[in-house]
A and B are shown apart, each in its own frame.
Chain A
Amino acid sequence: MGAFETISFRPENCNGCNDCMIACAQAKAQSDDAARSRIQVLSSDGSYELAMCRQCGDPECVHNCPAAALSKDAESGVIDWDASKCVDCLLCTVGCSYGGMVYDVDAGHVAKCDLCDGDPACVKACPRGALKFLTTARIYNEVGNLEDLFVPGLAGCQGCNTELIIRHAMRRIGPEAVVATPPGCIPGMGTVGYNGLTGTKVPVFHPLLTNTASMLTGVRRYYKRIGRNVKVVALAGDGGTADVGFQSLSGAAERGEEMLFICVDNEGYMNTGMQRSGCTPYGAWTSTTPVGERGRGKTQDAKNLPLLMVMHHCAYVATASTGFMEDLYDKLDRAIEASEHGFAYLHVYSPCTTGWRFPSDQNIEVSRKAVRTNFVLLWEFDPQSGLRLTHAAEDPLPLAEYVMALGKYRHLSEEQIAHIEGTIAQNVKFVKGLAAGVPLAAAPA
């Protein structure tokens, strides 16, 4: 068993240009005739639908084939068609509900998509991003059999991005770890347990908001002294990191303590009733920056905490988002590795359905939009190679697509949006400047 790569189609991005069909015909039939393509985009009432093989989990075409010419590859998930066995009965075309089996008149055989060995020509040809090749199945195949280190029932809100982050992070970090969760949503949802029960399958403790990094310093040093390599991990909110928790964080980073500090940034004190924090962006509604006759949301800009951590010369600093999971996993791996010899800091943006006021099913889409509008920049830093953007900041979507999706920004005036756009432009310029600069330290000898 395992997961497989797939091609996704967003009809709202398609304009029926047929570039994908021509690319497929060229790649698979050496022809410019779109009719010979294995991918067919069909128009109906101004919208588009896709007819192509989806490499089904339980393929009807394979069941129907009397000659065993079709088979599902257990590794790639691709349904292979064997020309030497095919008897041209076309029963496979009858079984398929998705128009995946094409009859190629010129060749006199059926033809089907084989995902171009993991590099589909149609996806590369699509100029509008309507077709996407999703390769995230590899994450499932890599870590899907590792145990989730939290109990099945945590009391995060429906669609909680923070719960998603901590479950993925701890699964990757593994059981040889001690976790600290300062006050906030993470212990609040039950990771430290209720009523004498625990919510985490590794040792977990609940420091004060102020001393998370100091306590982990001691825990790590103790285990080192007794000769055990135990990873120490902080799962903290933005309040426990940027505001109240900052002095101990800054001290531990300056001393280069060996730990992994993960900040789950939901831009406010969401657990206690959505108060503003130092990470709350300009213009955002919170319960302490209300919107009414006089108030129009927060009047100050957010502090850029990950850049502050860069200035601490940490062994590794990165920003990540659950909208870009492969990137998040890469950074998690690097952060875990860096925490073996220095301070690793991972800043993950975590849209909060309850506090930001948007429907719970939109959480990942909001994460994606935050990055695509440059509201959130994804980058990583280590002293040897300097800062590197991991998601190009060129051609961002209009900011309105992000802010208007969120209830906390719905009141924004044009001047306020212009202010945020100005801040984003400044931030992009600043981070790009850092990315173009030289590494802060020479490589160790």
Chain B
Amino acid sequence: MKRQAYEFFDQSAIPDDLCPIATKPSPMLPGDWRSMRPVVDRAKCVKCAQCWLYCPVQCVVERPAWFDIDLATCKGCGICATECPHRAITMIEEAA
């Protein structure tokens, strides 16, 4: 399943006599906010996608046999670990 992606808008199409219009995406990544980190136990994951469905940041990524977390954006809220019906995700403390 190839991910559908849209073109970002074309800067040259924007008239230069308007108020400033942002055309570049913000590169901010909130992964470093985290104090707790989710760890997926691959053997326990059944790919039910509950973690993906409820992840506010939508940082859950699909792998062939399990769902994984993108730690660059995960804020460590713990919703995935609470919602996982098979207790495949545990929250561990980030190393200081």
Contact = CB atoms under 8 A, between A and B. Distances in A.
B46 to A, nearest CB: 5
- Which 10 A-B residue pairs are closest in the complex by CB-CB distance? A361-B78, A8-B85, A159-B77, A3-B49, A58-B65, A140-B49, A198-B22, A153-B28, A158-B77, A57-B65
Given A134-B85, A147-B4, 6 more contacts: A8-B86, A147-B6, A152-B59, A197-B26, A198-B23, A359-B78
A151 interface: yes
Interface string B1-22: 1111110110000000000101
Contact of A364 (B22, B66, B79): B79
Contacts, number: 170
A410 B7 CA distance: 48
Max count, chain A CB within 10 A of own CB: residue among B50, B65, B67, B81 = B50
Interface string A136-152: 11011000111111011
A17 interface: no
Interface residues of A, number: 62
Contacts of B53: 136, 139-140, 325
Interface in B61-94: 62, 64-67, 70, 72-73, 75-79, 81-83, 85-86, 91
Interface of A is mostly: loop
A203 B54 contact: no
A151 B25 contact: yes
Interface stretch (A161-169, A238-246, A340-348, A422-430): A161-169
Interface of B: 1-6, 8-9, 20, 22-30, 33, 42-50, 52-59, 62, 64-67, 70, 72-73, 75-79, 81-83, 85-86, 91
Contacts of A160: 56, 77
A226 interface: no
Contact of B22 (A55, A159, A193, A325): A193
A52 to B, nearest CB: 11
Interface string A1-20: 11111111100000000000
A249 B36 CA distance: 41
Given A58-B43, A363-B79, A137 B22 contact: no
